Amino acid sequence: MELKNKKWTEEEFFRVRREVLASWPTGSSELLNLDVAIKNLKSVPDHKNFAKKMAEAKKQGRTLVQPRAGVDRIDEHITLLKFLEEAGADFLPSTIDSYTRQNRYSEAEKGIEESKRLNRNMLNGFPAVNYGVEGCMKVLDNVNVPLQARHGTPDARLLAEIIHAAGWTSNEGGAISYNIPYAKNISVEDTIKYWQYCDRLVGYYEDHGVSINREPFGPLTGTLVPASISNAVGIIEALLAAEQGVKNITVGYGMGGNVVQDVAAIKALQKQTEYYLDKFGYKDMVITTVFHQWMGGFPKNEDEAMGLISMSSTVAALSKATKMITKTPYESIGIPTKEANGRGIKASKLVVSLLKDQQYLDSKELDMEIKQIEKEVNSLLDCVFTLGNGDLAVGTVKAFEQGIIDVPFAPSKYNAGKMLPARDNEGFIRILDFGNLGFNDEIKAFHRQKMEERAKYEGRNVSFQMTVDDVYAVSEGQLIGRPKRG
Ligand code: 5AD
């Protein structure tokens, strides 16, 4: 099929669907009959519907809390989720294991068997495809809040089919955000098609009266990502999703560390996503936001990690993001125990509860930063539309080929990797080397000046060493990687 940003016809969708469902035995479940699946999804009560609970939180101006969590033995996974619900999670995840993310279901199967034999978890998440619709339904039956798959899967078509048919009403990911930070050799053209499929499936459900939430993965590589780049990517994925019929979208942002910039980023993201969807004629959309607690390197010390989690929660609450993804005091160690995960939730919930009636005050600095992000996002998106001759899908492929959109520290060979970020003298994430980013001269001059200010203060030249120092700074207890004086 030729790549374009156009809603797939049902015929196109069903043709591909036959292949997707035939790719692993659990794809043949009769629960994947769409009439059956719609009936099942309609029986999911409102309080377990992700899209409805997000819309309600937005109306009330609340920031709800969601952890990451997933283990491979299904009974233990259910125990884990119940424990996190008890700890206060407003939404539950199922973090999917790495084999499933790479469509290596036979290896996931071996992992499940090994885990049973050795009585310990051998996979790093929940292998939803192997458990199939029936297994995923059992998980949902045992919890009382909405359930979402969180993963990092470039081709999540079968996974999306299985989880939605099981009544899980949200799926994370997108053509760029689940490719560029996660894969090396998969083209953007391929992942646009894979995610058009996932979105078209949701569009089919929406056309039949079922609300399902979709969430582009905002933080990308989670390391010094400039707000305008992640916001532009989120808006592109929201537009691509809306074209396929998605109505409920949660756009995301990973904490950068400067409070003004973080609040500005969430505000700009909400506003510009709504603006662009409206501009291209997508009506009746429900747009919400998600703030990710610090996604970069964490301090090893658990108490320090809890401090960082609390700061993240403060900023999320003040920004009025609709949802926040929590971290745990074990972040620097690996996959958390359920107790550690629960501690992250409890600390986070307390902070958002204390701040629920407050928000970050308007100020000149906030206003300027919002305007700066908006200007940069507009510049990037203008380039993308021009490159695609008006077609967003084509423009996106070209923008990555040419480095017009460039994600820092990404493993993908389809990403230019020429742009370099660094913090300015107040810790705002700025751009030190533009590569081929789609920025005009005015924007470039602004960044250059900000980097010069820092260089002067630190008595060194603007250089890659600043980027390196910044990458490690937070895990060492500082936001800005100041030069080490010997
Ligand atoms: N359970 C909990 N957290 C997980 N993460 C990855 N897999 C799991 C899992 N199975 C978390 C990492 C990191 C983020 C990207 O996802 O710890 O915080």
Q: Rounded to the nearest whole angstrom, what is the distance from the C-alpha of residue 353 to the centroid of ligand 1?
A: 24
Ligand 1 pocket, mutate which of 96, 120, 331, 335 (most atoms under 8 A from CB):
335
Which of 172, 237, 243, 331 is the catalytic position? 172
Interval between CA 288 and ligand 1 midpoint (Å) = 23
H helix or E strand, kind and range, residue 249 = strand 248-254
Per-residue model confidence (pLDDT) at position 122: 96
Ligand 1 binding pocket mutation candidate from 66, 68, 126 (most atoms within 8 A of CB): 68
What is the arithmetic mean of pLDDT over 178-205? 98
Tell whether the model's pLDDT for residue 485 goes beyond 80: no
| 131-175 pLDDT per residue, tens | 999 999 999 999 999 999 999 999 999 999 999 999 999 999 999
Arithmetic mean of pLDDT, 370-384: 98
pLDDT of 452 strictly over 60: yes
Residues in the ligand 1 pocket, defined by CB under 6 Å: 68-70, 95, 124-125, 327, 331, 335-336
Ligand 1 atom with least separation from CA of 327: 18
pLDDT of 486 reads: 56
Q: Would you say residue 458 has pLDDT above 90?
A: yes
In this prediction, residues 80-99 reach a mean pLDDT of 98
Tens digits of residue pLDDT in 403-414: 999 999 999 999
Q: Which residues contact 239 (CB under 8 A, 6 or more apart)?
A: 5, 276, 277, 280, 282, 392
Q: Is 365 a catalytic residue?
A: no
% pLDDT > 90, the chain: 99
The string of DSSP letters for 13-72 reads HHHHHHHHHTTSGGGG-GGGSHHHHHHHHHTS-GGG-HHHHHHHHHHHT--EEE-----S
Nearest residue CA, atom 1 of ligand 1?
69
Residue 212 has pLDDT above 70, yes or no: yes
Mean pLDDT (the chain) is 98
Read off the pLDDT of residues 241-271 as tens digits, 9 standing for 90 and up.
Answer: 999 999 999 999 999 999 999 999 999 999 9
Atom of ligand 1 nearest to the CA of 126: 10
- pLDDT given at position 113: 98
Distance 457 CA to ligand 1 centre (A): 38
Question: Is 243 annotated in the active site?
Answer: no
- The whole-angstrom separation of Cα 122 and Cα 196 is 32
Give percent of the chain with pLDDT exceeding 70: 100
State the average pLDDT over residues 303-312. Answer: 98
Q: Measure the CA–CA gap between 100 and 159, rounded to whole angstroms.
A: 8
Res 430 pLDDT > 90: yes
| Model confidence pTM above 0.95 | yes
Q: CB–CB of 375/233 below 8 Å?
A: no
Which of 27, 439, 22, 400 has its CA nearest to residue 192?
400
